[in-house]
Amino acid sequence: MPTISEQAICIRQWDFSETSQTVSLFGRDTGIFRGIAKGSRRPKSNFSGGLDLLTLGDVVSIIKPGRDLATITEWGLHKVWWRIRRDPAANRAAYFMSECTSRMFNQHDPHPGVFDAFVDSLDHLEAGSNHDVILVRFLWTLLVDSGYKPGLNVSDENIEIDTQTVLFSPKEGGVVSGHEVPGRWRVRVSTLRTLELLIQEGPSADVDPTTVNRAAKLLAAYIREILGSEPTTLRLVFPDLAGGRV
C-alpha cells in the first residue's frame, strides 16, 4: 500500500461523522481521488486548518488497491483563496472550473498541467483578474490536456463573408466547412481570433471584454457537449447557456 505525499486541491467534501470527512482531492501527481480523513474535524489532529473546499494543501494518503477510498493521514493547509469566499462571481467561476475538472477526468489519472493551471487560475481570481479571461485560459488547458483540443483553423473557404462567421462543430471538434445544419454553431471570427490571442499572450493581452465573454461561452458549451450533460454550475456562470442553449 503506497503512501503518497503531494500537493492537492480539495474539490468536494462530505461530513462522514462528527469528527471525520470524506473528500475528493485533485492531486498534482495522483489526479482526482476520493479518501476518508478520520479525525479531520477534531481541534487537535494531523489536519491543520481542516479540509475545506477549494483550498490547497500538502496531503499524505495511503492508496489501497481495489478500494474506492484512500486513507488521508495528513493535511497541511498551504493556501486559502479568500476572494472566492466573499465574491459571488469569483465563487461561481471557481466552482465551475472545479466541476469541469472533476467530470472531464477519471480517478487516478494525473494531469499536472491542469493542476498548475487550476492553482494559477485561482490565484488570478484572488487578484481580481477578469473572470472570463481566467475561464478561457483554464478551459482551454483542460480541453487540450484531456485530448479535446478544438480546431480553430479559419480559412477563406469556411468564412461566411457577409457575417464574418464560421461554423463550429462540437461533434467534429472545431471549425468546419460545409453547410449549416443542426449541431453546428455559428461563431464569429473575432471570437476565435481573441481566443487565439489569449492562449498566446495570456491575461496581459489587449482584448475586448464582450468578445472574451463569447470565447468563454464557446469553450463552456463545447465542454458541455463533450460531457453529454450540463454541468450544474454552468447556469450560474453563463445563465444564457442554461438548458442547452448556445
Answer yes or no: are the C-beta atoms of 113 and 26 closer than 8 Å: no
In terms of DSSP H, where are the helices of the chain?
83-86, 88-104, 112-126, 131-145, 189-201, 209-227, 234-237
Average pLDDT for 121-129: 97
Q: Given 80, 106, 138, which residue is the final one in a domain?
A: 80
DSSP state of 18: S
Q: Residues 203-221: pLDDT tens digits?
A: 888 999 999 999 999 999 9
Query: Tell me, what's the pLDDT at 204?
Result: 83
Say what the pTM is.
0.94
Domain that holds residue 202: 84-244
* Domains in the chain, number: 2
Shared domain for 20 and 101, answered yes or no, is: no
Whether pLDDT at 102 is above 80 = yes
Query: Tell me, what's the pLDDT at 41?
Result: 74
Q: Given 80, 97, 129, which residue is the final one in a domain?
A: 80
User: Is residue 1 very low, low, confident or very high in pLDDT (cuts 50, 70, 90)?
Assistant: low
Answer yes or no: are the C-beta atoms of 95 and 125 closer than 8 Å: no
Q: Given 80, 99, 118, which residue is the final one in a domain?
A: 80
Average pLDDT for 133-159: 96
Query: Tell me, what's the pLDDT at 66?
Result: 76
Shared domain for 9 and 101, answered yes or no, is: no
Average pLDDT for 94-106: 97
SS3 call for 202: helix
Query: Tell me, what's the pLDDT at 2?
Result: 77
At 24, give phi and psi (nearest 5°): -115, 125
Which contacts qualify for 88-92: CB closer than 8 Å, 24 or more apart?
A: 89/131, 90/125, 90/131, 92/233, 92/236, 92/237
Indicate the pairing of strand 47-48 with strand 70-80. Answer: parallel
Q: Record the cell numbers describing residue 177, joined without a space.
A: 466547412
CA 155 to chain CA centroid, Å, is 30
CATH number of the domain residue 19 falls in: 2.40.50.140
Q: Record the cell numbers describing residue 57, joined without a space.
A: 494543501
Answer yes or no: are the C-beta atoms of 108 and 26 closer than 8 Å: no
User: Is residue 38 very low, low, confident or very high in pLDDT (cuts 50, 70, 90)?
Assistant: confident
Shared domain for 39 and 134, answered yes or no, is: no
Placement of cell 485533485 in the chain: 26
Shared domain for 126 and 203, answered yes or no, is: yes
Query: Tell me, what's the pLDDT at 94?
Result: 98
CATH number of the domain residue 127 falls in: 1.20.1440.120
Query: Tell me, what's the pLDDT at 65?
Result: 80
DSSP state of 188: E
Shared domain for 71 and 116, answered yes or no, is: no
Shared domain for 61 and 109, answered yes or no, is: no
Query: Tell me, what's the pLDDT at 16?
Result: 77
Shared domain for 201 and 217, answered yes or no, is: yes
Shared domain for 157 and 54, answered yes or no, is: no
DSSP state of 11: E
CB atoms closer than 10 angstroms to residue 78 = 16
Which carries the bigger pLDDT value, residue 140 or residue 42? 140
Query: Tell me, what's the pLDDT at 49?
Result: 66
Answer yes or no: are the C-beta atoms of 27 and 75 closer than 8 Å: no
Query: Tell me, what's the pLDDT at 64?
Result: 82
Shared domain for 97 and 181, answered yes or no, is: yes
The β-bridge partners of 176 are 167
